[in-house]
Amino acid sequence: MQRPSTGELLAGLGRALETEVLAALPDGTARRQLKAAVHLISRLERIWDLTPAHLAADNADIEATLAALGYQDPVAATAAPRGYNDPALRALAARNLALQEALLDLPDGAELQALRRRMAARDCAFVGDRVPEHSA
């Protein structure tokens, strides 16, 4: 097991930047940019190990919705998305892209609106944000 873990490293980096560097910066562009970076690091710390489960849940939900609507399952995306080093995670992300692209061609209806609400609620939970009132 790697110690410190990726989450611990990100949390420590975020704390150090916020308490040491951010506190020393005067108001202005650099301070605003660092605040945004600290927010992003905090978000990454919360989600770095949840991505596979999140993509798998999204993929299963989209696949079930497509099947319920009678649409054929799209083939996996041929181009691997950038930013994923793990082959299994890259495959999940590629599948997610293919499924979401398939949704773009479908006529809007109650099933797709419900799917979008479920996906938005999952995304909010994934990043630790509050679920939008209209998604519940």
Domain segments of the chain: what residues? 6-47, 51-135
Asked if the model's pLDDT at residue 15 lies above 90, the reply is yes
Residue 109 confidence (pLDDT): 94
For residue range 82-96, what is the model confidence (pLDDT) as tens digits? 888 899 999 999 999
pTM of the model: 0.78
Work out the pLDDT band at 117, boundaries 50, 70, 90.
very high
Contacts of 9 (CB under 8 A, 6+ apart): none
Asked if the model's pLDDT at residue 136 lies above 50, the reply is no
